[in-house]
Amino acid sequence: SGKHSSSCSDRTTMKELELSSEELGLALQYSPTPGVPQLVSFLNSLQQREHAKDLNVNIANSNIKNSREENNYLPSQPSPEWNYDVSVTVGSQDGLCKAFEMLLDPFSQDDELFVESPTYPGALGFLRPYGCKLIPVPIDEHGIQPEQLSKLLQESSSSHSSSYPFGENDQQKRKKRRVLYTIPTAQNPSGSTLSNDRRIAIYHLARKYDLIILEDDPYYFLHPNRQCIPSFLSIDHNLGDGRVLRFDSVSKLLSSGMRLGFVTGPPTLVNQLNLHTQTTNLHASGISQLLAYKLLDYWGLDGFDDHAASTATFYNNRGNVLLSAAHQNLSPDLAEWNIPEAGMFLWIKILNGKIGRA
């Protein structure tokens, strides 16, 4: 995963935050499985502001109404209904792996997980030994190619029965599951950001083929124009399907050592993740949660936006230095790459398969 740089923390503006005796007691004691209530409330407000947008989505035509160009897309005011829960996890990968376990049978070729190719190595590190069926989906500089995903889903559907034996009793049946795992913004490792039109088209396919979407988006807040990007959660919010679980991370904005992430999704799915947590690690660190909450509460949503913007600028400047070095040292006949919109990654393809000595 992308390693958060301590250099982007402005030590000249550091402020001393105090925990009251009551807050310290809360940090040192067991907390509710979804997280310390104050932090969960803040994160829920953040997610609602970011993703409860009326997108005016035309799903039938797989596009966004009244938008001639993607870059002109702007959401309207937040929609009043917000039917999603938030749960704090031990880093976003903790929630992600629990979602894999919740949705997919191990060592089974029945359930199918569609994954970007290439994709996050940390996810593959869990999935390969887990043994579920992985179906790679080609991506380019604009993310998943919907036409390729559609083709794979059609091929899968032709040999995909509706149910299979589940449990000790062969008469017990459950529906086979299809799941899409995607990193839509500043993807690790390719650096690609899924275009707006493709997001709508992919959600259309998810409806058609009954896909659950796992939206792993740790670099979302590093995108300078994130307000112009419709997340899969926001599309789901508009259409009311309840087929998206979204994973966000504190690691890229505050501290990777805090080991905090948060998952947002339909209560039915989030509750199942919470039950998993209750039988494993109980909850994320209370001390980490209180530290994060005190800082976020001090900032407020506006202060959080300022910090996210400065962090995005920091990584954009670093990316420009890397791009400059690539242009200076790698000739067009040796390597090629696409310029990422945001994030931490530049995917360089070596054309002749090897690099000689300079």
CA 259 to CA 348: how far, in whole Å?
Answer: 30
User: What's the token pair of residue 208?
Assistant: 């058609």
User: What's the token pair of residue 87?
Assistant: 């749960």
Residue at 133: amino acid letter? K
pLDDT tens column, 82-135 = 999 999 999 999 999 999 999 999 877 789 999 999 999 999 999 999 989 999
pLDDT tens column, 269-285 = 999 999 999 999 999 99
Percentage above 90 pLDDT, the chain: 70
What is the number of alpha carbons within 13 Å of residue 29 lying toward its C-beta? 9
Nearest to 249 by CA among 214, 209, 216, 200: 216
Q: What own/partner pairs with CB < 8 Å and gap ≥ 24 does 271-275 have?
A: 271/85, 272/102, 273/87, 273/89, 273/95, 273/98, 273/99, 273/102, 274/33, 274/34, 274/87
CATH number of 26-291: 3.40.640.10
Least confident of 70-74, 104-108, 185-189, 277-281: 70-74
SS3 2: coil
Q: Hey, where are the domains in the chain?
A: 26-291
User: What's the token pair of residue 26?
Assistant: 């809360």
Of 109 and 164, which is predicted with more confidence?
A: 109
Radius of gyration over every alpha carbon of the chain, rounded to an integer in angstroms: 21
Residue 156's pLDDT is what?
87
